[in-house]
Amino acid sequence: MKKYKIAVIVGSLRKESFNLKTAKAMMEMAPESLDMSLLDISGLPMFNEDLEGNPPKEWETLREKISDADGLLFFTPEYNRSVPGVLKNAIDVGSRPYGENSWNGKPAAIVSVSIGNISGFGANHHLRQSLTFVNVPTMAQPEAYIGDASALYDDNGKLTNDSTKEFFKTYLDAFEEWVHTIAK
């Protein structure tokens, strides 16, 4: 079976981020055909079109890593009913310069993680809107809204909830099929 390079993009910068913990848990249980690696967006300078003539190295690195990926797996918290600025900035940087959209055609999936009961629903759907515009076919089902995240991990950051582990496995199997179907 073909191996697919998957860029894992976490929209939370906090060291003890539940999104990062969830990303790491899912990376550990990923199907063998998905070669997942974290794509760090924490030091990405803010997009400013005036810099395109001499873009920051971090922009070029991000664009290269997106271009090299066969698929994308996003993890997002919800900030004020939307995605964190760092995540939106990464989408903007990767979509430029005009006509050179690094995201174009990459199959993706979104997991929103929150300590609340709404589970990042708003952020999940705002991210889908941006991904639609940059032509990222995003898996529709199953959806992944992970609520009450603070109750899912032990003090070492390990996932302890068995039903959540089962859901992650089901989700990753669906994502594997999505990538296999869409990836060029």
> Has residue 117 got a pLDDT over 90?
no
**Number of neighbouring beta carbons within 10 Å of residue 130:** 18
Contacts of 28 (CB under 8 A, 6+ apart): none
Please report the pLDDT score of residue 167 as a whole number: 97
Please report the pLDDT score of residue 86 as a whole number: 97
- In this prediction, residue 116 has a pLDDT band, given cuts at 50, 70 and 90, of confident
Report the distance separating Cα 40 and Cα 56, nearest Å: 15
Full set of structural domains in the chain with CATH: 4-182 (3.40.50.360)
Q: What is the pLDDT of residues 58-71, one digit of tens each?
A: 999 999 999 999 99
Q: What is the mean pLDDT of residues 73-91?
A: 95
Q: What is the pTM of this model?
A: 0.96
Contacts of 176 (CB under 8 A, 6+ apart): 4, 30, 31, 33, 34
Please report the pLDDT score of residue 113 as a whole number: 95
Please report the pLDDT score of residue 162 as a whole number: 95
Please report the pLDDT score of residue 126 as a whole number: 95
The DSSP element (H or E) to which 36 belongs, if any, is strand 34-38
Q: Which residues of 32-165 form beta strands (DSSP E)?
A: 34-38, 71-76, 108-113, 144-146
Which of residues 73 and 1 earns the better pLDDT score?
Answer: 73
> Has residue 119 got a pLDDT over 80?
no
Report the distance separating Cα 107 and Cα 160, nearest Å: 29
Q: What is the pLDDT of residues 8-42, one digit of tens each?
A: 999 999 999 999 999 999 999 999 999 999 999 99
Please report the pLDDT score of residue 147 as a whole number: 92
Scanning 46-136, the segments in alpha helix (DSSP H) are 57-68, 85-94, 121-133
**Mean pLDDT across the chain:** 96
Question: First vs last Cα of the chain: how many Å apart?
Answer: 15
Q: Which two tokens stand for residue 105?
A: 């055609």
- In this prediction, residue 98 has a pLDDT band, given cuts at 50, 70 and 90, of very high
- In this prediction, residue 184 has a pLDDT band, given cuts at 50, 70 and 90, of confident
Positive or negative torsion for Cα 20, 10, 63, 101: positive
The DSSP element (H or E) to which 34 belongs, if any, is strand 34-38
Place of tokens 């199953």: 142
> Has residue 118 got a pLDDT over 90?
no
| Alpha carbon of residue 171 to chain centroid | 14
The arrangement of strands across the sheet holding 4-10 comes to 34-38, 4-10, 71-76, 108-113, 144-146
Positive or negative torsion for Cα 112, 116, 117, 118: negative
